[in-house]
Amino acid sequence: MGIKAALPKYEIYFYNTVLCLAMFWAASWIFEVSCSNANRKTFKTSVKPGWYYFGRKMDTADFEWMMWFSTFREHILFALSGHVLFAKICSMLAPQYRSLVYMVYGLLAVWTSMGWTYVTLILSHCILLYSISLVKIRWLCFVTGLCTLATFKCEPFVSWQAGFVEGDFELRHILFYGGCGFTIMRCMSFALENCERKDGNYNILELLKYNFYLPFFYFGPIMTFDKFYLQVNKSDLTRKEWEVWNINLQAVIYLGVIIVVDVLFHFMYILSIPTDMKLLKHLSDWALVGLAYFNLVYDWVKAAVMFGVINTVSRLDHLEPPSPPKCITLLYVFSETHFDRGINDWLCKYVYNHLGGKHENMVEELVATLCTFGVTILWLGPCQVVLLWAFFNCFGLNFELWTAKFFSMEPFATFEMAMSEAMSRRIRAVFNTFNFWCIVLYNVLALNSLDFAKLVTKRLLLKGFPFTTIMVMFVTYCLVQVIKERERRQALIDDPDPLPPPPPPSAATASTTTTTITATPSPAPAASPVTDPSKEKAE
């Protein structure tokens, strides 16, 4: 079945209508629960007074969002504004030194916020991995990097290194782990790229420029060294038409999304409700299912906004950062399930694609996915929830390959070839429906808690069977068809179908053409006649 398989328009309109009504229905349940439980005792620490002109309390359960857009807002704006100012001055006066200016400003900003001992710790890791990269043994660089990353995930190394952070800055612990973790990933990228370089080695100054680029330092995203090196050292700094306009438009959109999310936090407590298991047990099936879905949508919005703000600054520096994460609403296959494209690109380049080859052999694919999720577990920090999340997603990714291999065999391949493309698309959408909810439940496990994921699963598959199960799966089927329609239209834009050849002229048309040509007098009778191929063909 091709991605360009179309369905009748009335069928697509029906799917969109069902989907919109279901979204509003689930949101109304969550809104009602939020209104009736705003003063609940278990919500005292997370539901606090918000904007006074709304007259409602606000859900503040997400510490990361509150840190970025409330507590840490002034620090971010001040640091990034300074970076943009100095970068613009350098681009105008001495563009050949702009990467060096980025490094100096980033180094001073990190020194000011975290102290010189923290800078010394970061430099020691950079020097260690740079020294190992000079040997140009790929596996040694990888093992050293993973061991270094493990020192930030296990005791007593964590407490010993955390002691290097000076001062009582409110967010120093967050900045400590963020800066150190991303530093190790960047140093590993540099070391592995240095191993691939045939002629000589990269200078350690290039590693420092790469690591201390301030917009990416504390919170990412990760851009692999080869891409960063090419983009930050390019001499042509001219912009495409409308590029600055698009950058400003993206910044305005992100600002609007931040305001919309803050407003919605006053009306739907989607983050506080999952923490109260007693309340969850009394919710309706629609409220519980909608709560699980909206939690994942919010997590995508948060990642898109946080990375989007940083990416806007990096685009002003003439860089092309990793794309924003793909929305959970548009995911129905495990191979596209990633909330951080920077980490995903890093893992694919250095682990998954390196070990998996063409991703056709099941054994190679299994080894590649196991190693990829092994690195991911170390990156996130090994614990029960992370291990369960990694196991289920690893199984889902491999199960997709096994299923594709199985149904490509006979007689299934013949059956699919015999049916129409529209029917094949409908049947595939049924399987994608169950896949979609596997992705939702596996990621709810990581975002919320094991108890919440178990409760949603029981309501969806056991307690709510058959009415809730059938209704939710039907709505999800409509959602998958809407996603496929969007992908079909994008495929037609990216790769339009060739126009059909013009039909040959009919006999009547040829006769009329002959009569017209013959009856038309020659404007120059004395001149020698010119041979007309179309006339000869018509005659």
SS3 59: strand
Q: What is the pLDDT of residue 500?
A: 63
Closest to 48 (Cα-Cα) out of 25, 22, 66: 66
Q: How many CB atoms within 10 Å of residue 271?
A: 22
Is pLDDT at 168 greater than 80 in this prediction?
A: no
SS3 48: strand
> CB-hemisphere CA count at 13 Å for 126?
21
Is pLDDT at 160 greater than 60 in this prediction?
A: yes
Is pLDDT at 539 greater than 60 in this prediction?
A: no
Closest to 280 (Cα-Cα) out of 469, 444, 435: 444
Task: Report the distance separating Cα 512 and Cα 352, nearest Å.
Answer: 66
Is pLDDT at 520 greater than 70 in this prediction?
A: no
pLDDT band at 358 (very low <50, low <70, confident <90, very high): confident
pLDDT band at 480 (very low <50, low <70, confident <90, very high): very high
Task: Report the distance separating Cα 150 and Cα 152, nearest Å.
Answer: 5
Round the average pLDDT of the chain to a whole number and report it.
85
Q: What is the pLDDT of residue 507?
A: 47
Q: What is the pLDDT of residue 122?
A: 93
188 vs 515, higher pLDDT: 188
Is pLDDT at 521 greater than 70 in this prediction?
A: no
pLDDT band at 332 (very low <50, low <70, confident <90, very high): confident
Q: Give tens-digit pLDDT for 58-86.
A: 999 888 888 887 767 777 888 888 999 98
Residue type, 258: I
Is pLDDT at 210 greater than 60 in this prediction?
A: yes
The structure tokens 């309501």 sit at: 459
Residue 52 makes CB contacts below 8 A (sequence gap 6+) with none
SS3 149: helix
Q: Give tens-digit pLDDT for 197-207.
A: 988 899 999 99
Q: What is the pLDDT of residue 511?
A: 44
Is pLDDT at 528 greater than 50 in this prediction?
A: no
Q: What is the pLDDT of residue 499?
A: 62
pTM, 2 dp: 0.84
Q: Where are the alpha helices (DSSP H) in 332-420?
A: 341-347, 353-356, 362-380, 384-407, 412-418
Q: What is the pLDDT of residue 2?
A: 65
Share of residues in the chain with pLDDT > 70 (%): 90
pLDDT band at 529 (very low <50, low <70, confident <90, very high): very low
533 vs 264, higher pLDDT: 264
In angstroms, how far is CA 512 from the centroid of its own chain? 61
Is pLDDT at 295 greater than 80 in this prediction?
A: yes
